[in-house]
Amino acid sequence: MPDYKPSERGSTRCGRSVFYWGKRTYIMGVINVSPDSFSGDGLADVEEAVARAGRLASEGADIIDIGGESTRPASTPISTDQELRRVIPVAEKIAEQISVPLSIDTYKLEVARQALDAGVNMINDIWGFKKEPRLAELASKKGVPIVLMSNQRGSTCRDIMSAVISDLRRAIEQALDAGVTWENIIIDPGIGFGKTQEQNLEVLQRLEELQALDRPILVGSSRKSFIGWVLDLTPEQRSSEVAFVQPGDQRLEGTAAAIAIGIAKGADIVRVHDVKEMARVCKMSDALVRGM
């Protein structure tokens, strides 16, 4: 594995954009076309999704991540055909109308393949090849970046960061063996995926340890349940005055804090639902951490 220092991670081309790692924090805006999204922002209409993509781009998103299957705990998996029906029309329309690069949030080979053909520029694999190893070959063949997440669902870990680092190292080596170029590999510790609430906090507290892997770090802490857990904002704990609000809507300030700490600890990309507000958090955090 190349021996790069964190400040020498180089750059990654994604669609028409080039991400220069270490210069600033890049923002991944989220578009969920799954009706059961954990954050309550699922969209069912193509035009509505395209409009949202335009808004995210205008608010400062550097890349837009499209997902068609809910990744919340205990969610019901959907078929490949159903996921294709949800994401491909949206991806095609957004790619036609918006110049911001697109990512597909999927672990299914055929969904990723058709999304790339529809104009998507990046694969975001929440299983880091555990569900579908052939995604590595697809990313290599298409020459696109791939986000590799460490997902602990179905397993238990005592030392969470050791488990995350070992899992990501395995995924990186698998990508390289398949021919994915070093600059096209991005890592994600997988906050909220198979970790206890205490472990989610620990991942953020120890995020800088991932720099040993010398790849850009994506952090997806936006609206996650550990924020509601810390702030006593889980649905059953809400007062009747705010009971009608979707779960994510009460986690804005907690998300901002988690993102600011994540940037201070080495995050290069943050995946967020509230782009306008978090773009400001990133800009301020970058001024403090990286300098103006």
Tell me the CATH architecture of domain 10-289: Alpha-Beta Barrel (3.20)
Average pLDDT, the chain: 89
Please determine, for residue 242, whether its predicted confidence score (pLDDT) is greater than 50: no
Contact 38, 3 (CB under 8 A): no
What phi, psi does 159 have (nearest 5°)? -100, 95
CA atoms within 13 Å, Cβ hemisphere of 291: 2
Instruction: Check residue 227 and give its pLDDT.
Output: 92
Alpha-carbon span 291 to 214, nearest angstrom? 21
Its pTM surpasses 0.95: no
Alpha-carbon span 136 to 141, nearest angstrom? 9
Pairing of strands 17-20, 11-14: antiparallel
Please determine, for residue 286, whether its predicted confidence score (pLDDT) is greater than 80: yes
Each residue's pLDDT tens digit, 157-166: 889 999 999 9
Compute how many other C-beta atoms are within 10 angstroms of the C-beta atom of residue 9: 21
DSSP, res 58: H
Residue 271 DSSP SS3: strand
% the chain with pLDDT above 90: 78
Alpha-carbon span 83 to 110, nearest angstrom? 10
pLDDT band with cut points at 50, 70 and 90 for residue 240: very low
Please determine, for residue 122, whether its predicted confidence score (pLDDT) is greater than 60: yes
Contact 168, 150 (CB under 8 A): yes
Task: Of 38-42, 89-93, 223-227, 246-250, give the lowest mean pLDDT range.
Answer: 38-42
Rounded mean pLDDT of 172-188?
A: 98
Q: What is the CA radius of gyration of the chain?
A: 18
Instruction: Check residue 235 and give its pLDDT.
Output: 55
Task: Of 47-51, 61-65, 71-75, give the lowest mean pLDDT range.
Answer: 71-75
Q: 137: which residues sit within 8 A by CB, 6+ positions away?
A: 178, 179
Rounded mean pLDDT of 185-213?
A: 96
> How is 115-154 classified by DSSP, letter by letter?
HHHTT--EEEETTTTSS-THHHHHHHHHT--EEEE---TT
What phi, psi does 71 have (nearest 5°)? -110, 10
Instruction: Check residue 243 and give its pLDDT.
Output: 37
Q: Which residues are known to be catalytic?
A: 224, 271
Each residue's pLDDT tens digit, 66-105: 999 987 666 678 999 999 999 999 999 999 999 999 999 9
Alpha-carbon span 215 to 212, nearest angstrom? 8
Each residue's pLDDT tens digit, 256-271: 999 999 999 999 999 9
Pairing of strands 63-67, 26-32: parallel
Question: Edge to edge, what strands does the sheet with 102-105 contain?
Answer: 185-188, 146-149, 122-125, 102-105, 63-67, 26-32, 269-272, 218-219
